[in-house]
Structures are given as C-alpha cells and as structure tokens.
C-alpha cells in the first residue's frame, strides 16, 4: 500500500484542509512577504514537514484577502521580479489568535479520543 510518506520521504506530512490559512497568517506576523516567500517560510519553519504547492497557496491567499485578513500590493522581490506582497491586517492578526486557539482545542480533543481506554458499562 502506498501512502504519501512512501514517496515524499519520512519527514513529509500532509496538511489537512483548513489548516493552511492559519499557517499563512502566522507567517505574515513576521512581516510582509510574497507568495513564494510565504510558502518557503512555512516549509522551513515546519522542518520541511509541509510542502506548500501553488495550487493551494494562491486560492488561500485570495480567500484571506477577500476576508480582509491580509492585503496585497505589487512590489519587487529580492531577485528583481515584480510580485504581489501580502501584509497582515488587524483583523487577520486577531484571526491568528482565534484559529490557533481553535487548533489547540482540536488537538486536545483528538488526543483524548486517540488515548481513550474502553469505558465501563
């Protein structure tokens, strides 16, 4: 049986749908960044566990922009190319807290079930 782990190396782990937004928002708390830079930063800080493909990154950025959690402006990247630079908005900064808290509650609840022992009766 083939799993993503067999082909992508032992460290790689699949992102669950709904988790990319908070990773992007958290990354932007470090400062304004272009799409490629955001993807690289997430990959690096995750210890290369996550591979951020453009097919999920750009729709996520569009979604966050539409909600006014981030805003985009044209700028010039370090290698002289024109690129959209994304900036965290105040509402997006609040979302980092909200979504991190939600994630932590999910982890806690999942942990309770995954460590559960048979109940009596």
In the structure encoding, which two tokens stand for residue 93, read together? 């900064």
Closest distance to its own copies from the beta carbon of 53 (Å): 16
Task: Tell me the site size for its own copies, rule CB under 8 A.
Answer: 40
Rounded Cα distance, 10 and 81, in Å: 34
Contact set for its own copies, span 27-86 (CB under 8 A):
27, 30-31, 41-42, 44-47, 49-50
Rounded Cα distance, 58 and 50, in Å: 16
Rounded Cα distance, 43 and 98, in Å: 22
Choosing from 26, 63, 71, 84, the residue that interacts with its own copies (CB under 8 A) is 26
Q: What one-character DSSP code corresponds to residue 14?
A: P
Residue 112 binds to its own copies (criterion: CB under 8 A)? yes
Q: Which is nearer to its own copies, 76 or 110 (CB)?
A: 110
* Rama region for 9: left / alpha / beta (φ>0; ψ in -120 to 50; rest): left
Rounded Cα distance, 9 and 85, in Å: 31
Residue 110 binds to its own copies (criterion: CB under 8 A)? yes
Contact residues for its own copies, defined by CB under 8 A: 3, 5, 13-19, 22-23, 26-27, 30-31, 41-42, 44-47, 49-50, 98, 100, 102-103, 105-110, 112-114, 116-119
């Amino acid at each position: 049986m083939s799993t993503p782990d067999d082909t992508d190396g032992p460290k790689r782990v699949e992102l669950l749908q709904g988790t990319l937004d908070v990773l992007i928002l958290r990354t932007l708390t470090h400062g304004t960044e272009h799409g490629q830079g955001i993807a690289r930063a997430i990959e690096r800080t995750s210890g290369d566990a996550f591979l951020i493909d453009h097919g999920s990154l750009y729709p996520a950025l569009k979604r966050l922009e539409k909600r006014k959690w981030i805003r985009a402006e044209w700028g010039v990247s370090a290698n002289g190319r024109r690129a959209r630079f994304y900036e965290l908005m105040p509402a997006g900064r609040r979302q980092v807290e909200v979504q991190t808290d939600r994630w932590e509650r999910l982890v806690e609840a999942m942990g309770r079930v995954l460590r559960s022992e048979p109940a009596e009766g």
